[in-house]
Amino acid sequence: MAAAGLRAMVGVKRVIDYAVKVRVKPDNSGVVTDGVKHSMNPFCEIAVEEAVRLKEKKLVSEIIAVSCGPQQCQETIRTALAMGADRGVHVEIPAKDYESLTPFQVSKILAALAKKESVNLLLLGKQAIDDDCNQTGQMTAAFLDWPQGTFASEVNLDGDWLKVEREIDGGLETVRLKLPAVVTADLRLNEPRYATLPNIMKAKKKKMEMVKPSDLGVDLTPRVKTLSVEDPPQRKAGVKVETVEDLVAKLKEIGRI
């Protein structure tokens, strides 16, 4: 398997840029997304980078970048193509369905695509920074009945197996997964490259296929409904103290030390 190279698929999500302070809509139906800067989810960038590095090491033969969502997701796929992915698949989700789309439906789509494209390595970010779910990789692995290497900080090929070092609560652990497998990237896996202008130009010529969830036999009926989105409780403004003695006195006063 390794000799011919793995066929890798990378899932990428378009999210509100990580540096933007989000605003909750006045009708509490969600957060304001119109006119707000969007970019590729940071964990997805790391997943793309890892796939490209595996290809540079000749362990991966082809990289397919996939995104599910409205028209604008194509920019996100183009970014992945500019980083080194070979071709893109855009799973078009109408705006109405996209609002209620959750990892459940995305995982079904990814699982169907992974089978259709006969890939043997699926790379995803460990979570999207908008819904903070941390579910898609695990669920896709389950739908495919593949092993999963979540929160990966190192990935090495070992014959027909994949050695994955994972970030866990007390430190790190290493697992071995039989290919085909799903890997989700943690922050420490790598440092994603910037796409250069020539590569951005080249990416425009790379192939992008349009697919509908119904083509893949995936039903978009919402399973979890959002009832409301609200601002979290605001903290009261604090005070500045001048000296360490003042600080200690204040903390003693309120019984914290």
Partner 1 sequence: MAALRGFLRAQRLGRRAVSSLHRFQSTLVIAEHANEALTPITLNTITAAKRLGGEVSCLVAGTNCEKVAQELSKVQGVSKVLFAQHDAYKGLLAEELTPLILETQKQFSFTHICAGATAFGKNLLPRVAAKLDVAPVSDIIEIKSPDTFVRTIYAGNALCTVKCDEKIKVLSVRGTSFEAAPVSEGSAAIEKISAPAPVGQSEWMEQKLTKSDRPELTSAKVVVSGGRGLKSGDNFKLLYDLADQLHAAVGASRAAVDAGFVPNDMQVGQTGKIVAPELYIAVGISGAIQHLAGMKDSKTIVAINKDPEAPIFQVADYGIVADLFKVVPELTAALKK
Minimal distance in Å, beta carbon 39 to partner 1? Answer: 14
Please, which of residues 25-54 interact with partner 1 by CB under 8 A? Answer: 31, 43
Please, which of residues 60-99 interact with partner 1 by CB under 8 A? Answer: none
Told to check if 152 binds partner 1 by CB under 8 A, we report no
Are 123 and 8 in contact by the 8 Å Cβ rule? The answer is: yes
Residue type, 153: S
- In terms of Cβ atoms closer than 10 Å to its own Cβ (0-12, 13-18, 19+), residue 237 is exposed
Please, which of residues 177-236 interact with partner 1 by CB under 8 A? Answer: 177-178, 186-188, 223-232, 235-236
Stretch that binds partner 1, among 77-85, 102-110, 114-122, 202-210 (CB under 8 A): 102-110
Q: Which of 95, 132, 205, 217 binds partner 1 (CB under 8 A)?
A: 132
Measured distance CA(39)–CA(251) in Å, rounded: 42
Q: Which of 127, 183, 192, 220 binds partner 1 (CB under 8 A)?
A: 127
- DSSP-derived 3-state class of residue 66: strand
Q: Which is nearer to partner 1, 43 or 65 (CB)?
A: 43
Minimal distance in Å, beta carbon 170 to partner 1? Answer: 4
Told to check if 16 binds partner 1 by CB under 8 A, we report yes
Q: Which is nearer to partner 1, 47 or 85 (CB)?
A: 47
Minimal distance in Å, beta carbon 132 to partner 1? Answer: 6
Residues forming beta bridges with residue 89, ordered by sequence position: 66, 209
Q: Which of 26, 27, 37, 171 binds partner 1 (CB under 8 A)?
A: 171
Told to check if 256 binds partner 1 by CB under 8 A, we report yes
Give CB contacts under 8 A, 24+ apart, made by 110-113. 110/9, 110/11, 110/66, 110/68, 110/136, 110/140, 111/140, 111/143, 111/144, 112/216, 112/217, 112/218, 113/9, 113/66, 113/89, 113/211, 113/216
